[in-house]
Every structure is written in structure tokens, then in C-alpha cells.
Amino acid sequence: MDGVRIIASREFAAYFATPLAYVFIVIFLALMGVFTFYLGGFFERGQADLLPFFNFHPWLYLFLVPAISMRLWAEERKSGSIELLMTLPVTTTDAVIGKFAAAWAFTAIALALTFPIWITVNYLGDPDNGVIAAAYLGSLLMAGAFLAIGSCISAANRNQVVAFIITLVVCFVFLLAGFPLVLDFFSGWAPQAVVDTIAGLSFLQHFNAISKGVVDLRDVVYFLVVIGTWLYATAVVLDLKKAD
């Protein structure tokens, strides 16, 4: 566990040692504002809730989270520091969890910095803060799931741009798994049970369920299982091809 903590804190500091952290946070917050106020019609709706704000999170994450996750392992591979890291006395699992935890903590900070909108809505009206808290939790869990997918794909690639693009596509499929766009691809030939399972994988449905304020344990567990599975896959990929 010590290994996880040390690696996570090194990794976390690395975000702020480069412009990456600041650029990401500024763009994240700016886009959040644009989406919420212009596309979401925050004022025009005249309702004291943050639905127009949270509705855009999945789409923003789709582009911004792969930008964070792409460097997780691809950069280590490219600079050769992976050889250093993997010959230190830490297990592959510790390294995977440590790096993921740092990335997740970083997105948590970006997300937390959206607090002015929460203050705004409380100033203007009387929203249900329980629903807002649940939506923040859902948003954070979804970001974690995106990151875990990105971690695995970054581990399999040396090139960060390739990792970015593949992550984006895979995340897109997961996001829309419950929609015809993805389901039609399977429904022609796969058995109904498989199609139903795929439909159940949709990030969007689980996120929407949580963000309505109903924190169903199943939705939370779903995201945690997705994270765990992809991190496990990351460790497997690394053990198989860390030196390639």
C-alpha cells in the first residue's frame, strides 16, 4: 500500500510540474460554463437545479479524460522510465493503482473547482442539494471509469496520440452502449441476452440514474466494477508487454 501512495503522490505532483494541469483545468471549467449557460440554457429554464450542467459531463469527459489518461503509461514507455519504475520493488498492481489514483484525484480537483455554479444555483433559488451531491458523485465515478479505460489503452501503446484516439472511441462505445447506434451493430446477429448485457453497460444510463438523485448501489457498483476490470487489464497488458 505504501508503494501505491508514493507512486500516486509522485504522479500527482507531475501534473502540476507541467502546464498540463493548468491548461486542463482552465479548459475544463471554461467549457463547462459554455455548455451549461449557452447550450444548456441554465437561466432560461428558470429551474433551481444543475441538470443542464451535469448533462454535459459525459460529453466533456469523452474528449478531456483521454487527454489525461493517454500519458499515463505511453509516456513512461516512450521516455524509458517504465524500465526504472518496473524494476523498483513495487508490484505492477501497485504502480497501476497509484498512477490511476493520481489521475482520478486530479480530475476530482477539476470537478471540485466547478463549485461556483453550485453556489450560484443556491443563491438564485432553493435546489435539492442532495441531488446535486449525488450527481457530483456520479460524475466522479464516470470520470474514473473513463480514466481506467484510458489507462489500459495507454499501457498498450507507445504513442500518446494513438492512445488518445483509441480511448476516445472505446469510451464513446461505452457511453452509448444502450443506444441504437451501438446496439444495432450487435442486435442483427448476437443473442438477445448479449444485446441486453451490452445495453446494460451504458455509462450514460448509469450516470443519468445517479444524477437524478437516486444513488442506487447497483449503479455505484457498476462503475467500480468497470474501473476494477480495466485496471486489472492494465496490469495484465503491462506484464505482458512492458519491455516491448
Partner 1 sequence: MIRAESLTRRYGPLTAVDNLSFIVQPGEVLGFLGPNGAGKTTTMRMIAGFVPPTSGRAEICGYSVEEQSLEARRRIGYLPEGAPSYGEMSVRDFLQFVARVRGLRGDRLKVRVDDVIGRLELAGVLDQRIETLSKGFRRRVGLAQAIVHDPPVLILDEPTDGLDPNQKHQVRQLIGTMARDKIIVISTHILEEVDAVCTRAIIIAAGRIVADKTPEQLARDSRYHNAVTLRVEKASLVRDMAAELRGLEQVASVDIVEATRTLTVFPKAGASVFADVSALATSRGWSLQQLTLENGRMDEVFRRITTEAATKGAA
Q: For the CB of residue 7, give the shortest distance to partner 1 in the complex, in Å.
A: 7
Residue 242 touches partner 1, criterion: CB under 8 A? yes
- Burial bucket for residue 225 (CB in 10 Å: 0-12, 13-18, 19+): exposed
Distance of alpha carbon 198 from alpha carbon 12, whole angstroms: 34
| Using rule CB under 8 A, residue 122 touches partner 1 | no
Our CB check for partner 1 shows the closer of 17 and 193 to be: 17
Rounded to 5°, angle at Cα 5 from 105 and 67: 35
Q: How far is CA 150 from CA 122, 132, 166, 168, in A?
A: 35, 27, 9, 8
The nearest distance, CB 207 to partner 1, in angstroms, is 33
Integer Rg of the chain from CA: 19
Which of these ranges, 12-20, 163-171, 202-210, 212-220, lies near partner 1 under the rule CB under 8 A?
12-20
**Taking the complex as a whole, how short is the minimal distance between the CB of residue 84 and partner 1, in angstroms?**
5
CB of 111 to partner 1, least distance (A): 24
Burial (Cβ within 10 Å: 0-12, 13-18, ≥19) of residue 33: middle
Residue type, 41: G
Contact 9, 102 (CB under 8 A): yes
Shortest separation between residue 18's beta carbon and partner 1, angstroms: 6
Stretch that binds partner 1, among 5-13, 60-68, 119-127, 201-209 (CB under 8 A): 5-13
Q: Which stretch binds partner 1 (CB under 8 A): 4-12, 130-138, 181-189, 212-220?
A: 4-12
Which residue among 7, 64, 68, 210 contacts partner 1 (CB under 8 A)?
7
Residues 72-101 that bind partner 1 (CB under 8 A): 79-81, 83-84, 86-91
Q: To the nearest whole angstrom, how small is the minimum distance from the Cβ of residue 100 to partner 1?
A: 17
Residue with Cβ nearer partner 1 (83 or 184): 83
CA atoms of 199 and 203, how far apart (whole Å): 10
45 phi, psi to nearest 5 deg: -65, -30
The reply to whether 33 sits near partner 1 by the rule CB under 8 A is no
Using CB under 8 A, list all residues that contact partner 1: 2-3, 6-7, 10, 13-14, 17-18, 79-81, 83-84, 86-91, 242-243
